[in-house]
Amino acid sequence: MLCDECQTVNHCMTHGCIPKVKLSALDKQVSGGHYKDKGIQPIVYIHANNLGFCEGNVIKYVTRHKEKNGAADIQKAIHYLELLLELQYSQPPNKDKA
């Protein structure tokens, strides 16, 4: 992240140019910071591997469960896996779980 004015990080930090710094969409997160400390953000992995909606949501929920919604995020990931089985592989939902 470099200032449009000076193009150096040190100047930005000492002279308060931060508002002029252009952030990548990957540098910010709306509503929370549960992806910021990860080695790779889920969206980067999902995009790089051309994953679909269901697969992407599984990655997202499993990645964030410890920092955000706990067991609820694991349940969401399981739900997307069940949807994937049903939609991609024509496997009906497991009736034992109903």
Q: Is the pTM of this model over 0.85?
A: no
Q: Is 87 helix (H, G, I), strand (E, B) or coil?
A: helix
Residue 3 phi/psi, 5-degree rounding, is -70, 140
pLDDT tens per residue, the chain (98 residues)? Answer: 455 556 555 566 566 665 555 667 667 666 566 677 788 889 999 999 999 999 999 999 999 999 999 999 999 999 999 999 999 999 887 766 54
Same domain, 92 and 44: yes
Could you give the CA distance from residue 23 to residue 38 in angstroms, rounded to a whole number?
18
Tell me the pLDDT tens digit for each residue of 10-22: 566 566 665 555 6
Residues 6+ apart with CB under 8 A from 46: 55, 56, 59, 60
Could you give the CA distance from residue 29 to residue 8 in angstroms, rounded to a whole number?
24
* CA dihedral angle for residue 82, residue 87, residue 90, residue 95, rounded to 10 degrees: 30
On whether residue 62 sits in a domain, the answer given is yes
On whether residue 15 sits in a domain, the answer given is yes
On whether residue 3 sits in a domain, the answer given is yes
Count: domains in the chain: 2
On whether residue 66 sits in a domain, the answer given is yes
Residues 6+ apart with CB under 8 A from 33: none
On whether residue 32 sits in a domain, the answer given is no
Residue range(s) defining the domain that contains residue 12: 1-26
